[in-house]
Amino acid sequence: MAILHTYEVGYCMHPACVALKGSGFKLCRFPARAYVIEVGRELWVWDTGYASHFHTRTAKGIYRLYPAVTPVHFQNEEALILQLAQQGITGKDIRGMVLSHFHGDHIAGLRDFPGVEMYASKPGWEYHKTLKGLRAVRKGFVPGLIPDDFESRIQFVEQWESCALPPELAPFESGWALPDSDGEVFVVSLPGHARGHIGAFIHTETGWVLLAADAAWAPENYTELRQPAWIARLIMDDASQMLQTLQKLHALHQRGVVKILLAHEGGIPSTVEPT
């Protein structure tokens, strides 16, 4: 069975209602999470959370709008690379890094992992690499966070083996098998939030887990199908696809077989205990 390790790497502040319509204007803390997937004898990193590079790359120009709209709190000692080092893990120990999407709170630490192979959705990268200035900020993308040699290191999940998923993961039917994961990790498309947004089903000793990234921001988004506020649609790639993804998560939740983990869950006081 695969083993999943969770890390909190900084956080941002938002009014609760941005993530969950009708939940009020109280400012809430939304942690940025990264994960390490231990499968077989290999380690895969899923997203990076924040890093000092975020503050550096949003300190001037149009990119100052990003932290102005979404205040970010990060201490240098929280960097994922340092948290991993405390456990004796270096970049040389990592088989690859998988990026759920290209928003700043998921890729800010990429420059801390030189030489490590990167994996993402091809449509996601092909779209985001064209964004600059205000267009980039509107989509939550900061080009300066991308390492200079990224094009030579990026590979695409669509190149992995395409396969049917186990029936217990319905309504999700197909995905891509993480290399050499022996049926324990599958990457799936979760469209709507960002172009090329992906998640991962992981078979652990306690059962299946879905890393759903930003497909939802609070459990109520999918348990009750309560949507984010309309203003949140400004950064979304496709609001209609986002709703379709929430409906699939709702159906998955109703089956009660898979534990759904969200990248920023915990910011809003919730009456729902995720299962």
Rounded Cα distance between 237 and 196, Å, is: 9
The pLDDT score that the predictor gives to residue 266 is: 75
- Looking at the DSSP bridge assignments, the partners of residue 164 are 174
Reduced to 3 states (helix: H, G, I; strand: E, B; else coil), residue 95 is: strand
49 Ramachandran zone, left/alpha/beta (phi>0; psi -120 to 50): left
The pLDDT score that the predictor gives to residue 145 is: 98
The pLDDT score that the predictor gives to residue 20 is: 85
Rounded Cα distance between 255 and 146, Å, is: 39
Assess contact for 71 and 13: CB atoms under 8 A.
Answer: yes
Rounded Cα distance between 111 and 145, Å, is: 7
- Mention every residue, 6+ apart, whose C-beta is less than 8 A from residue 147: 110, 111, 114, 153
Rounded Cα distance between 58 and 60, Å, is: 6
Residue 42 token pair:
């290999």
The pLDDT score that the predictor gives to residue 267 is: 67
Residue 245 token pair:
């993804």
DSSP 158-214: GGSPEEEPPGGGTT--EEEEPTT-TTSEEEEE-TTSSTT-EEEEEEETTEEEEE-TT
Rounded Cα distance between 99 and 34, Å, is: 10
pLDDT, mean of each 10-residue run, the chain (275 residues): 97 88 85 97 97 97 94 96 97 98 98 98 98 95 98 98 97 98 98 97 98 95 89 85 97 97 80 40
Written as one letter, the residue type at 96 is G
Domains in the chain with CATH codes: 3-261 (3.60.15.10)
Rounded Cα distance between 58 and 72, Å, is: 11
Written as one letter, the residue type at 226 is R
Assess contact for 211 and 99: CB atoms under 8 A.
Answer: no
Instruction: Kindly report the pTM of this predicted structure.
Output: 0.94
